[in-house]
């Protein structure tokens, strides 16, 4: 059977240690991924802008532009802000991990590491996140939203979401059919502001649902935990991805 290379997930390994970089690339290719390699942060960023990467494995300690600087550049760019990133590093202190997660890493693997475990983590992360995406909009039952222009319509009528309402909708949508806790929503949408109570999530979800009209049924409450963007009850022919208005 011929493998369509265009459909293979592209994993970028940014690591200055050649042996580790080539070992990870070898196992990625055995698992059916396309592995790209960069030995410096600068080279990694250059490849990132030139290729449609699906996930980045990023060494923390590198000469020149280090892993945290690369991670910050990824999160600061609208095109790559949701790109899954796994930090692969020998720095394993609690402070290092906290800094990495605060800057937006999705996972943290410490050296020495199990390649088998790394492959499992990569597959799990790809299942629940998206890297570069052509899906800039969503529409169903008279409701449509464009994630790039932030334009929202209900039955042809323009509707405004507050920044927090928009952030909640987009995060739930990007993690559709997965239960998301209130604490996780605070972390991703509010940035874990210590002055914000979890009840503020419920208030904003209520306002969001009111503005979505018939499509509000998509956002389900999971009692005792949080919320889920549920598409299971919707006829697949009525749901449209890609560009919305």
Helices (H) and strands (E) counted in the chain, each on its own, are 8, 12
The residue among 72, 96, 128 that closes a domain is: 128
Which run of H or E residues covers position 19? helix 18-30
Domain assignment of residue 234, yes or no: yes
What's the CATH number where 100 sits? 3.40.50.2300
- In the prediction, which pLDDT does 107 show? 84
Q: Report the 10 Å Cβ neighbour count for 75.
A: 15
- In the prediction, which pLDDT does 140 show? 87
Domain assignment of residue 77, yes or no: yes
What's the CATH number where 219 sits? 1.10.10.10
Query: Residue length, the chain?
Result: 245
The residues near 130 (Cβ < 8 Å, ≥ 6 apart) are 82, 84, 174
- Distance, in Å, from the CA atom of 224 to the CA atom of 4, rounded to the nearest integer, reads 44
The residue among 128, 146, 169 that closes a domain is: 128
* Domain shared by 20 and 55, yes or no: yes
- Output the pTM of the full model: 0.53
Query: One digit per residue, pLDDT tens: the chain, 245 residues?
Result: 333 433 478 999 999 999 999 999 999 999 999 999 999 999 999 888 777 788 999 998 888 888 889 998 888 877 788 788 998 877 655 556 677 677 778 888 888 888 988 998 898 888 766 444 445 778 888 899 987 778 899 999 999 998 889 889 988 988 888 899 998 888 778 764 446 678 899 999 999 999 999 999 999 999 888 999 998 876 443 444 444 55
- Distance, in Å, from the CA atom of 149 to the CA atom of 131, rounded to the nearest integer, reads 19
The residue among 109, 128, 147 that closes a domain is: 128
Q: Are 187 and 137 in contact (CB under 8 A)?
A: no
* Domain shared by 103 and 153, yes or no: no
- Distance, in Å, from the CA atom of 218 to the CA atom of 216, rounded to the nearest integer, reads 5
Tokens representing 35? 């592995």
Quickly list H helices, 33-114: 41-50, 67-76, 94-103
- In the prediction, which pLDDT does 237 show? 37
* Domain shared by 142 and 160, yes or no: yes
Domain ranges, residue 76:
5-128
Omega cis (within 30) before 112: yes
* Domain shared by 192 and 98, yes or no: no
Name the nearest CA neighbour of 145 among 95, 213, 88: 213
- In the prediction, which pLDDT does 94 show? 57
Domain assignment of residue 244, yes or no: no
The residues near 35 (Cβ < 8 Å, ≥ 6 apart) are 11, 13, 24, 25, 26, 28, 29
């Amino acid at each position: 059977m011929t493998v369509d290379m265009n459909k293979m997930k592209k994993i970028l390994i940014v690591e200055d240690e050649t042996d580790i970089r080539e070992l990870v690339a070898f196992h990625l290719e055995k698992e059916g991924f396309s592995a790209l390699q960069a030995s410096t942060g600068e080279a990694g960023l250059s490849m990132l802008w030139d290729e449609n990467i699906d996930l980045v494995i990023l060494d923390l300690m590198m000469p020149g532009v280090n892993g945290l600087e690369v991670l910050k550049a990824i999160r600061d760019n609208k095109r790559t802000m949701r790109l899954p990133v796994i930090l692969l590093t020998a720095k394993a202190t609690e402070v290092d991990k906290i800094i990495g997660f605060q800057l937006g890493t999705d996972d943290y693997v410490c050296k020495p590491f199990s390649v088998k475990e790394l492959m499992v983590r990569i597959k799990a992360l790809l299942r629940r996140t998206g890297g570069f995406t052509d899906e800039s909009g969503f529409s169903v039952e008279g409701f449509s939203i464009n994630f790039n222009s932030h334009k929202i319509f209900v039955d042809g009528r323009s509707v405004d979401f507050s920044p927090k309402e928009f952030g909640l909708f987009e995060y739930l949508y990007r993690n559709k059919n997965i239960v998301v806790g209130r604490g996780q929503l605070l972390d991703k949408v509010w940035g874990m502001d210590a002055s914000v109570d979890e009840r503020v999530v419920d208030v904003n979800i209520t306002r969001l649902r009111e503005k979505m009209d018939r499509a509000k049924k998509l956002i389900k409450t999971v009692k005792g935990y949080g919320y889920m963007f549920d598409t299971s009850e919707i006829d697949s022919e009525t749901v449209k991805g890609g560009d919305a208005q």
